Structure 1
């Protein structure tokens, strides 16, 4: 399958009164056509900053995409594009669903007009034609009474319907890539499942590649082909979805999987929580960023960054536990399994 997006050594910093916050510290990955790639990690790990960098939405200042970073879309570096190229790219070739639809949608504009606006810009249709297309898009994302709903405002939509409207706007111009930044945040579990099923169904119909940004591994299990686990501005483990779930190798991935609620546990069982806090990215640690929270940490973990170890053609991890001289540690998931 052909690569449609390649991110190489992406580094993004924010300059604050306290100093330089190194939000993303050398992230590399690629995305294939018609594929769903999930980037998973807790809040503050750099997931959303990475997605905004792909769209060239990092505000400068205070943000700064460092020299040596590359973001190649169909072989062309987005970071070197002129403004007119970027306007065609955003919405037309790469679209993004933001975290909170209520703040992303214009509260003073009717939903249909907001969808039509994007269609007019990128497809050159008249306002009447664009509005008719907007109604079609609302039908595609399964919003009932689309003709009536197109003439309503965001506050008249439920949370799940607002998210569907955001998906309609993002897909209105048939983009090659859809970046979904926490698309199910603040929605109840039933609506979450509906939104994920909708995205999967639309991908099958339209052939759009998806970058799914989330903190919840449970959300990605049935939709992503590959997963990248991100921590403290770095990718610490990457692999196919079944490899990450059946054979996770990084202690942080173990912690994420342990914190996913399971159906086979009792009501009174205590849900796992990871102790400690992520490192201060004003002064990133010289060694493994997870060392201070890891109960398997060795002296070397705090002194030197581990290199990426390939476990298979598709699975790799950055952890000193993979070193031949490291003690053998059994995954805490082996006892109960990661289901």
Structure 2
């Protein structure tokens, strides 16, 4: 596989009145051409900050700060060394992003067609007529009916699902190498969620775009992702293929995420699993495992030292003291055992 993105030791902090919030702490991952990488975790774990750091969309140098040891290598170049002119060329052309809320991401004073055409004029050098013609094609590509009419309408005239499709059209207009989808199905009903995910998958196959999918819902990524990274408190605590994460999860936090997903056999009166406690304060991150305070399998060493990376399989790693040879044997929770 052709490697197109390498993120090495990404560290992002926010300087606030309460102190330095260490939002992302040493994140590493790579992305290959045409694949889908899902970054999963609860709100506040650092998923969106990681994705915005890739595109340099954080308010730098204050209040956000990307530490000097961080590297984001795209096509052999470190994005963190790029100047503003190089970044403008990169954004939208090579790397595009679908933001969480399409209503606040779209410009309410411009027609949807003009917003798509804008990136085509900037990045592909088209004139206004050519760009509008291509914009209509893009709206048609993302399955918006009457695209020629819809191109001249404003965002408030679109439904939530159609606005999200319009955002996808804008993001893919210049045929980027990487598409970052930040919670692309938030606030959409289940049927529309499935349609949006199917659309992203279909367009990915047609255009060969690599996708970074940011979500808190493991159910969304089961049929769409190739690999999964589970984030907690600004760190990647488990990574592996979709098959490995779903069939052989190793970290107690991954177990908790999987147990919270409703299953087909769940009855109406069944209570869904809920994880007790709250994430740690990242102004003063814990010295040991960040999940220790919420983990029912916590040992003394979990509170004192950060676990090392353990290779479960060649493409499956986990940060957990339970995987140490001297640790007591802990079985995967009954509800997650394969075949149930």
State if a TM-score over 0.5 links the two structures: yes
Cα distance in 1, alignment partners of residues 126 and 160 from structure 2 = 29
Cα distance in 1, alignment partners of residues 204 and 156 from structure 2 = 28
1:69 aligns with 2:70: yes
Retained in 1: the 8 A contact 2:255–2:336?
Answer: no
Alpha-carbon displacement from aligned partner over 1:50-102 (angstroms, at most 9, x marks no partner): 00000001102100000100000011100001211111100000000000000
In the alignment, what sits opposite 1:19?
A: 19
**Cα RMSD over matched residues?**
0.9
Q: CA 1:336–1:244 in 2, change beyond 3 Å: closer, same or farther?
A: closer
Deviation at 1:245, TM superposition (A): 0.1
Retained in 2: the 8 A contact 1:115–1:168?
Answer: yes
In the alignment, what sits opposite 2:84?
A: 83
Alpha-carbon displacement from aligned partner over 1:4-53 (angstroms, at most 9, x marks no partner): 00000000000001100000000000000000000000000000000000
Retained in 1: the 8 A contact 2:98–2:171?
Answer: yes
Q: CA 1:256–1:194 in 2, change beyond 3 Å: closer, same or farther?
A: same
1:48 aligns with 2:48: yes
In the alignment, what sits opposite 1:223?
A: 224
Cα distance in 2, alignment partners of residues 261 and 156 from structure 1 = 34
Cα distance in 2, alignment partners of residues 58 and 270 from structure 1 = 39
Cα distance in 1, alignment partners of residues 87 and 306 from structure 2 = 36
In the alignment, what sits opposite 2:154?
A: 153
- How many pairs were matched up? 339
In the alignment, what sits opposite 1:297?
A: 298
Matched residue of 1:311: which SS?
strand
Unaligned runs of 5+ in 1: none
In the alignment, what sits opposite 1:124?
A: 125
Q: CA 1:256–1:207 in 2, change beyond 3 Å: closer, same or farther?
A: same
Cα distance in 2, alignment partners of residues 213 and 29 from structure 1 = 14
In the alignment, what sits opposite 1:280?
A: 281
Q: CA 1:82–1:126 in 2, change beyond 3 Å: closer, same or farther?
A: same
Matched residue of 2:313: which SS?
coil
In the alignment, what sits opposite 2:250?
A: 249
Retained in 2: the 8 A contact 1:164–1:195?
Answer: yes
Q: CA 1:104–1:333 in 2, change beyond 3 Å: closer, same or farther?
A: farther
Alpha-carbon displacement from aligned partner over 1:286-319 (angstroms, at most 9, x marks no partner): 0000000000000000000000101111000000
Q: CA 1:234–1:335 in 2, change beyond 3 Å: closer, same or farther?
A: closer
TM alignment of 1:189-204, pairs within 5 A: 189-204=190-205
> Larger deviation: 327-336 or 264-273?
327-336
In the alignment, what sits opposite 1:93?
A: 94
In the alignment, what sits opposite 2:323?
A: 322
Q: CA 1:62–1:259 in 2, change beyond 3 Å: closer, same or farther?
A: same
> Larger deviation: 69-78 or 326-335?
326-335
The TM-score, its normalising length taken from structure 2, stands at 0.98
Cα distance in 2, alignment partners of residues 115 and 279 from structure 1 = 41
Q: CA 1:283–1:159 in 2, change beyond 3 Å: closer, same or farther?
A: same
Cα distance in 2, alignment partners of residues 173 and 335 from structure 1 = 42
